[in-house]
Structure 1
Amino acid sequence: MSELFDEVDEEVRREQLKKLWDKYSIYFIALMVLIVAAVGGWRGYQYLEAKKAAEAGAAFDKAAELAEQDKHAEAETAFTELAAKAPSGYRTLARLRAAAEVAARDPKAAAKMYDELAADRGVGGEWQDLAKIRAAGLLLDSASYADVQQRLEPSAAPKATFRHSAREMLALSAWRNNDMTAARKWLDAIAEDGETPPGLRSRAEALQALLPPVAKS
């Protein structure tokens, strides 16, 4: 008797499942189609992005070769074109290299390009700091200490990635503009930072020796 009830229960379950399938099968099929399409679309997107990155990498290497061959005008054009159409990573690198090529013929124009990159929050903080350093380096001989300070002081903070270079430039700018107090401040910061590179530390010590002695009170 129990076997008969089991058979009846099984038949009921099959009937219920059939009704559910008849009612909802179209939605299930549609969902499966959407999943397959989504996976296919994502794979296609990944393929296209990888292809773009590979093409950008090859174009970047070619532009770098032109620069190494002293074909700076051609390299500038190549980097500028790459900066306009490459994926974000290569775009930022190309903008930096394009500015470096321009610097050889027009430092002020290159500094402006670096300033534009430094103001672009989309590239990320470290790239912005690097652009600030590059721009300040081009203007170091002509800019006032106040200008260099405005540009670089945030990049000289204790945990900043490029703090060592920023501090050296700030010290040099202060020294060239006869602000010995500021120069001493930045040279002290270089000396007190245990992670200061040895070469930079040596240059800072040489500059420190050129400063007039501190007046005794």
Structure 2
Amino acid sequence: MSELFNEVDEDLRREQLKKIWEKYSLLIIAVAILIVVGVGGWRGYSYLEAKKAAVAGAAFDRAVELAEQNKHAEAEAAFTKLAAEAPSGYRTLARLRAAAEAASRDPQAAVKLYDDIIADRTVPAPEQDLARIRAGSLLLETTPYEAMQTRLEPATTNTSTYRHSARELLALSAWKANNAVATRQWLDMMSNDAETPASLRTRAEALQALLPPAAKS
């Protein structure tokens, strides 16, 4: 008797499946096709992106080689091309390197390139701060302390990756401007930050020794 019931149940299930297939077969096939196409498309996209990244990486290495050979004009052109055409991971690096190469021929042109990076809100904060530091280094000898402060102070916060270099540049700028109070402020920030690198701490102590007695800690 149980075998009879089993056979009846199986017939009912087959009949239900048949009805479901007749009603939804086109939808099921369409969903299956979409899944296959989606997986294939994603794999194709991943392959193309990996290929683009490999090509960009090789081009970046060639541009670095040009820079190391002091072929600055060729290196700048190569980095500029990468900044325009490479995948996003290489664009900001290429822009920073293009600006560095431009500095060898025209520091003001390099500063303009760094400023473009700083103003670009799609660029991550650490790279923006690095651009501030590099531009500040080029401007240290010719720019008033107040302008340097405006330029570099955003990079001096406790969470900034390049805060140590920014503080050192501002201390030097203030010292050149005979602003002992501001010099001491930045040197104290360097001294009180446990993560200040030893080399920068040593230079800060040397600059501190040059301050007039009233301005020393």
Please say whether Structure 1 and Structure 2 have the same fold, judged by a TM-score greater than 0.5.
yes
The answer for the alignment partner of 2:183 in structure 1 is: 183
| 1:37 matched residue in structure 2 | 37
Structural mapping, 1:22-171, within 5 Å: 22-171=22-171
Structure 1 pair 190–85 and aligned structure 2 pair: CA distance change class (3 A): same
Paired amino acid for 2:25 = S
Unaligned runs of 5+ in 2: none
With 95-104 and 199-208 compared, the bigger mean Cα shift is at: 199-208
Residue equivalent to 1:200: 200
Alpha-carbon distance in structure 2 between the residues aligned to 1:215 and 1:55 = 55
> Partner letter of residue 175 of structure 2?
W
Alignment-mate amino acid for residue 22 of structure 1: E
**Helix, strand or coil at the partner of 2:213:** coil
C-alpha deviation, 1:204, in angstroms: 0.9
Give the partner amino acid of 1:105.
Answer: R
CA shift, 1:123, in A, is 1.8
TM, length-normalised to structure 2 = 0.96
In 1, Cα distance between equivalents of 2:3 and 2:205 = 97
SS at match of 1:122: coil
What is the deviation of 1:215? 6.9
What is the Cα deviation at residue 210 of structure 1? 1.1
Describe the superposition over 1:117-164 as per-residue Cα deviations: whole angstroms up to 9, x where unpaired: 011121211111111111111111111111111111121112211110
Unpaired runs of 5+ residues, structure 1, are none
Runs ≥4 residues deviating over 3 A: none
Comparing 118-127 and 56-65, the one that deviates more: 118-127
**CA distance in structure 2 between the aligned counterparts of 1:165 and 1:215, rounded to whole angstroms:** 22
SS of the residue 1:123 aligns to = coil
Cα displacement (A) at 1:2: 3.9
Contact 2:180 2:215 in 1 (8 A): no
Using the aligned pairs only, state the percent identity: 68
* Residues 50-99 of structure 1, C-alpha deviations (whole Å, 9 max, x = no match): 00000000001101111111111111111111111001111111100000
SS of the residue corresponding to residue 178 of structure 2 reads coil
- C-alpha deviations, 1:90-119, integer Å up to 9, x for none? 111110000000001111110110011011
Separation in 2 of the partners of 1:64 and 1:6? 75
Calculate the aligned-residue CA RMSD, in Å. Answer: 1.4
Contact 2:184 2:215 in 1 (8 A): no
Cα distance in 2 for residues equivalent to 1:130 and 1:59: 23
User: 1:177 Cα shift?
Assistant: 1.2
Residues 118 and 131, structure 2, Cα contact 8 Å, conserved in 1: yes
Distance 2:85 2:5 in 1: 72
